[in-house]
Amino acid sequence: MVATERCERRLSVGADALFEFDHWTLSPAAEDSLVVLLPELEKAGKHPVSIEGHTDAKGADAYNDSLSERRAGTVKQRLVARKAAPESTRVAAYGERKPVAANTKPDGSDDPEGRQKNRRVEVVIDTCG
């Protein structure tokens, strides 16, 4: 998914397309998901890029922060290896702090679909920088 806001372009890839549950090493199918990002990164040219890791609300905050950082770092390594991002690319870990969907339903029960949307890695292009 691509979202454009003032001064940034966000390329979001669901973590389920990149990683096995609770892991940060790329799955065999991950390459297909990352290849989709390459044309967008090429268009970015010299604009600064950062990579953000996000999790759902399951698990402890410290664990989710660590998992999201490792996942963002893994994506950075792959994009750097493909020469699609510079080594200086910043990595940020947000754990469960920036959800894009509710992790629970209004009645307080678990919302697996919402949690799935929150598990993601976002490549952010600073279009003003």
Reading the block at residue 52, the tokens are 């953000």
Residue 4 has a pLDDT of 76
Q: Print pLDDT tens along the chain (129 aa).
A: 777 788 999 999 998 899 988 899 999 889 899 999 999 999 998 899 999 999 999 999 999 999 999 999 999 999 999 999 999 999 999 999 999 999 999 999 999 999 999 999 999 999 987
CATH, residue 48: 3.30.1330.60
* Bridge partners (DSSP) listed for residue 44: none
Q: How high is the pLDDT of residue 3? A: 74
Q: What is the pLDDT of residue 6?
A: 84
**Looking at the 3D structure of the chain, how many domains does it have?**
1
Q: Which residue from 40, 98, 34 is spatially nearest to 68, judged by alpha carbons? A: 98
Q: Which domain holds residue 74?
A: 2-126
Q: What is the spatial distance between Cα 107 and Cα 110, in angstroms, rounded to a whole number?
A: 9
Contact between 14 and 122 under an 8 Å Cβ cutoff? The reply is no
Rounded Cα distance, 72 and 105, in Å? 28
Q: Distance between CA 41 and CA 54 in Å, rounded?
A: 20
